[in-house]
Structure 1
Amino acid sequence: MTTETLATLLRHWAGRRGDETAVTFLDYRTSEDGRAAFLTWRELDDRVSAVAARALELAEPGERAAVLVEQSADYVVAFLGALRAGLVAVPLFAPNLPGHAGRLTAVLADCDPRLALTTAPRLDQVAEFVDPKRTELVAVDLVPRAREREWPVPDPDDLAYLQYTSGSTRSPAGVMLSHRNVLANARQACEAYGAVTGHTTTVSWLPLFHDMGLVLGIAAPMVAGMAATLLDPVAFLESPGRWLRALSASPGAISAAPNFAYGYSASRVSEREKSYLELSRVVSLINGSEPVLPSTIAQFQTAFGECGLDPAVHRASYGLAEATVLVSVTEAGKPSRQVSFDRDRLAAGAAVPSGGGDSSTLVSCGYAAGQQLRVVDPEQRKALPDGTVGEIWVRGENVGRGYWRNPKASAEVFGLRLDGTGGWLATGDLGVLFDGELYVTGRRKDLVIVDGRNHYPQDIEQTVEEHPAVRRHSAAAFAIPLDEGEAAVVVLERAKNLEEANLAAATEALRAEVASRHGLKLTDLVFLAPGEVPRTSSGKISRSSCRARYLDGAFADRRLS
């Protein structure tokens, strides 16, 4: 009996769709126009088998294989090759990714890989990060074609890969995901986002080592037999029009990005570029992995509505690596619902529509995607009624098995009991069910609690980012410990056109605005130069890194105010 895995599904589609394109990588590193490299389903299957055969000469099924490849079709080959060999893949990144050497060293020490899969140009760099006595190097672009053979048959609950979290809220931890987990979530995603074999294509610039990037770029295409078009994240950041052009060129496009990317694209794509875009065939644009802002959705739709973009394709989603990725999503064919809640009552734990005073407008993240979802009092471990803020708990086949080599942390998060049933995941995220839909309000650990009052950091960040002196999507609000209790700090970047001489006035105005709108006195407000606020690998602001660097004094020599 053959256990279904992403690798066996690849073999299935290679048989059915052999000469059709499976993966397209648009390479902007060597061409301003994006040189397209293609692999058909049969070519991808052959290359995956070649990597798997070489891997089995050097490692035993169940051992770890780290994927240290740049964003490319070679990454897909390496990841699926590890799975076909029965190894546990560890999707990481090439050592030349700026600013991530420390994280790469820590993750490699934690997962202790038997193999490091990379490409020929990166062999020497990868060798500097691994112990040659423990880890063998394989260049996936050099392995010879393999003869036909039998492949290891894993159990559905055997590990498929370790998904290391981005570190946006804590030190990186490896989530253990089985073949059952990833197939369940990929199918949930395909159903939720309208994937249809032969009619839809995924388009992604998200890093393939990121949870959403991997499911969108590899897992979902293997499940649905869809072609995938991939770009490098740097290519998007250099020119977001490249992403829009890829969407335009891909019939039935399904894509995803964090909230900031939609605002960034709307502000950076020129009118001339828009004139070449045809976006009426886009099926789903997934917005998740950070709070979804109504203003960003409106900005993006205003910018690209003239290109045929249907407002109903915007799909606000909620997810996390511990649940493979996808947990909930808004309904297809309808714009995401937005509700303005009374800000003070929301901070106190009650979701009450605003009667005209200070409010927080939240975008619905819809309904659970083929899994169970509850909002819970984490101390009492009891489900809360609709309209009450609590911790989001999830249960389903997509929920991972725990954290790699960390049973203590696993026991605190996975396999919890609720309402007489086990297997619940405590997400660490706060949310509320309102009229049956999920609204995410923040993370438990990110709450800023000053003088007994709760403040959601994103509310503070949105307030300061409205000021023209502040660069959009650059603020991080967090709490620091003082002798008399917690205090609030905001770190942000100045707008590129702002003269440093005007920072003092801007600082004073921002402090006054936060005090007026939130009843919160900032202990410190730090202006940095553009690009200086720490971000995760997918481009989100990392509050935890900001807080750690602030407490370490790392901003002292770089602050402008």
Structure 2
Amino acid sequence: METISQTAFARPVHDALDGDSFATLLGKWARRLGDEVAVTFLDYRTSPDGRAVSLTWRELDDRVSAVAAHLGTLAAPGERAAVLATQSADYVVAFLGALRAGLVAVPLFAPNLPGHAGRLAATLTDCAPQVVLTTADLTGEVGGFLATHDVDAALVAVDTLPPVTGEHEWHRPAPDEPAYLQYTSGSTRSPAGVVLTHHNVLSNARQCCAAYGAESGTTSTISWLPLFHDMGLILGIGAPMFGGLTSVLMDPLAFLERPGRWLRALSASPGGISAAPNFAYAYSASRVTDDEKSYLELSRVVSLINGSEPVLPATIAKFQAAFGECGLRPEVHRASYGLAEATVLVSVTDAGTPSRQVTFDRGRLAEGFAVPAPSGTTLVSCGRPVDQRIRIVDPNGEPVADGEVGEIRVSGPNVGQGYWGRPEASTFRNGWLATGDLGVWFEGELYMTGRLKDLVIVDGRNHYPQDIEQTVEAHPAVRPHSAAAFAIPHDEGEVAVVVLEQAKNSDGEVAVGELRAAVSAEHGLRLHDVVVLSPGEVPRTSSGKISRALCRKSYLDGRWAR
């Protein structure tokens, strides 16, 4: 099967033009929009009410020029500039300043992000930056980290640079020049930097603006996603620079502390467009109080993108039930599929209609065939590809028939060029990106079923981990959105393990027998081990998602040995 999106998306004013970048487009919007607000950061670190720190298009353009001018004295076009800063308007300045100077930006994070020091050190070793961009309050900490890990790079605090005077000729990149490296664990054990050209990222920003209904002057993006993540960067910086949209940002921790802050920002922003992983919608529905809801007006929301992990029907229903009274319309929910190797967006459901849901026979789905049934596994459609192509292929790379499960492969102008310094990587093949994700094309839409590397295969039978996790989390002794199911090697072959957090005021150990019985009855699967942890102990990613890979590693390392 091969398909091209049949939805006719209107194209915005700009296309991926020669010599353009997010930084050059910033200059165009600065001349056109001037004193209108370009970016606002809601700072909950210094104010409980979220002090708004805003930059107009002209102010942002001036500050980006100041960074670019200084970088021109430190590095040559094509060298790497790593951004080690916290979520802020300064992060936007640093990233765009690197692009304007013709450097290859590497969006990363400050060393104070808990549990990620090793990953940061490995990433810096891999990309070998000539310069590191940060802010004045972090120079001591960042400088110490660079020295400790023998990173020889100039350190620049972007919030201390003087304004530029006079006229300057900024670098105008060729479309195939790298714009930035998007680091992702991908299918590798160590961080790998996806090489994304200016053509790649401008193309995907155009695709996002068109698919999500973004228009300059009438829509704005609202995001708590980390700016060093693929979706966080395109939603918070890329799409706004391409489409002339106002960007409203907050720190991920501000969302996790009080998810109502995200919805308050959506409520205050006309024509809001936002995105989050599936867990964030369920988390918001559970944690936002009735008092907080009384301040929400969500009827003007344009699109809420749900992606980066399996979209659960129960989550969509729970979120809509919680906030329908605040004016939220069901059709703004947009299930999506994407990955860093394709910049971010690959497919999304149509605007104006609720995402389609289909229940498939669980046994047949595990065998590789999507067969509708009255009960089983319900999947939410990820829609159709946006100005790109999708293939579903078998293990030999041959296209399969509609209704058959296989690996998702993608081809389009947004697909990256491979991994930095790893020409041997086989993810990019003959113009097609092998995603490592499993999916099925059913009645004209894409349904993602899981990841190849996460598939639990026991006694020759396939089990999707999210199905096992949903069964486990249905027990009242298990904390919602806390379970991780994975397979490990054993003398008797691959065996299944579940790690979970017990709910407050409950004893998860007492429920282990019931959980084993439920998984056995529902999936025909015997669990080798069930590990019960306290709330907050299951490893998560920097955006709050459960990390099966980290759970598996911790288990094999004996971290939870009893």
TM-score range, shorter chain: over 0.9
Q: Is the 8 A contact 1:55 1:82 kept in 2?
A: yes
Q: Residue type matched to 1:547 in 2? A: R
Q: Is the 8 A contact 1:341 1:360 kept in 2?
A: yes
State which of 482, 488, 492 in structure 2 corresponds to 1:480.
488
The separation in 1 between residues aligned to 2:63 and 2:408, in whole angstroms, is 41
Q: Which residue of 2 aligns with 1:218?
A: 237
Q: Which residue of 2 aligns with 1:361?
A: 378
Q: Could you tell which deviates more after superposition, 139-148 or 394-403?
A: 139-148
Deviations 1:203-247 (A, max 9, x none): 000000000000000000001000000000000000000000000
The separation in 2 between residues aligned to 1:229 and 1:50, in whole angstroms, is 23
The separation in 2 between residues aligned to 1:480 and 1:133, in whole angstroms, is 36
Q: Offset of 1:449 from its aligned partner?
A: 0.5
Q: Is the 8 A contact 1:366 1:437 kept in 2?
A: yes
TM-score by length of structure 1 reads: 0.95
The separation in 2 between residues aligned to 1:50 and 1:27, in whole angstroms, is 23
Matched, 1:462 2:470: yes
Q: Residue type matched to 1:285 in 2? A: L
Provide the alpha-carbon RMSD of the alignment: 1.2
State which of 518, 532, 536 in structure 1 corresponds to 2:541.
536
Q: Which residue of 1 aligns with 2:354?
A: 335
Q: Offset of 1:170 from its aligned partner?
A: 4.2
The separation in 2 between residues aligned to 1:240 and 1:456, in whole angstroms, is 29
The separation in 2 between residues aligned to 1:544 and 1:160, in whole angstroms, is 29
Q: Which residue of 1 aligns with 2:303?
A: 284
**Judging changes above 3 Å, is the alpha-carbon distance between structure 1 residues 133 and 302 closer, same or farther for their aligned structure 2 residues?**
closer
Matched, 1:444 2:452: yes
Q: Which runs of 5+ in 2 are unaligned?
A: 1-16
Q: Residue type matched to 2:387 in 1? A: G
Q: Is the 8 A contact 1:254 1:284 kept in 2?
A: yes
Q: Is the 8 A contact 1:23 1:38 kept in 2?
A: yes
Q: Offset of 1:436 from its aligned partner?
A: 1.0
Matched, 1:143 2:161: yes
Q: Which residue of 2 aligns with 1:525?
A: 530
Q: Offset of 1:137 from its aligned partner?
A: 0.3
State which of 32, 52, 75 in structure 1 corresponds to 2:68.
52
Q: Residue type matched to 1:12 in 2? A: K
The separation in 2 between residues aligned to 1:186 and 1:545, in whole angstroms, is 31
Partner-residue secondary structure (3-state), 2:39: strand
Matched, 1:66 2:71: no
Q: Residue type matched to 1:428 in 2? A: G
Q: Is the 8 A contact 2:18 2:175 kept in 1?
A: no
Q: Is the 8 A contact 1:260 1:540 kept in 2?
A: yes
Partner-residue secondary structure (3-state), 1:57: coil
Matched, 1:247 2:266: yes
Q: Which runs of 5+ in 1 are unaligned?
A: 417-421
Q: Is the 8 A contact 2:124 2:151 kept in 1?
A: no
The separation in 2 between residues aligned to 1:391 and 1:268, in whole angstroms, is 36
Partner-residue secondary structure (3-state), 1:184: helix
Aligned residues: 543
State which of 180, 183, 190 in structure 1 corresponds to 2:199.
180
Q: Is the 8 A contact 1:49 1:84 kept in 2?
A: yes
The separation in 2 between residues aligned to 1:59 and 1:430, in whole angstroms, is 42
Q: Which residue of 2 aligns with 1:492?
A: 500
Q: Offset of 1:129 from its aligned partner?
A: 2.4
**Judging changes above 3 Å, is the alpha-carbon distance between structure 1 residues 153 and 496 closer, same or farther for their aligned structure 2 residues?**
same
Q: Which residue of 2 aligns with 1:392?
A: 408
Q: Residue type matched to 1:413 in 2? A: T
The separation in 2 between residues aligned to 1:475 and 1:164, in whole angstroms, is 26
Deviations 1:421-458 (A, max 9, x none): x3000000000000010000000111101001000000
Q: Which residue of 1 aligns with 2:130?
A: 114
Q: Offset of 1:168 from its aligned partner?
A: 8.8
Q: Offset of 1:355 from its aligned partner?
A: 3.9
Q: Offset of 1:555 from its aligned partner?
A: 1.6
Which structure has more relative contact order (CA 8 Å, sep 6+)? It is 2
Deviations 1:74-101 (A, max 9, x none): 0000000000000000000111111111
Q: Offset of 1:2 from its aligned partner?
A: 6.1
The separation in 2 between residues aligned to 1:273 and 1:87, in whole angstroms, is 44
Q: Is the 8 A contact 2:272 2:302 kept in 1?
A: yes
Q: Is the 8 A contact 2:273 2:301 kept in 1?
A: yes
The separation in 1 between residues aligned to 2:356 and 2:188, in whole angstroms, is 27
Deviations 1:481-530 (A, max 9, x none): 012210000001111221xxx33330000000000000000000000111
The separation in 1 between residues aligned to 2:153 and 2:288, in whole angstroms, is 44
Partner-residue secondary structure (3-state), 2:336: strand
The separation in 1 between residues aligned to 2:327 and 2:69, in whole angstroms, is 47
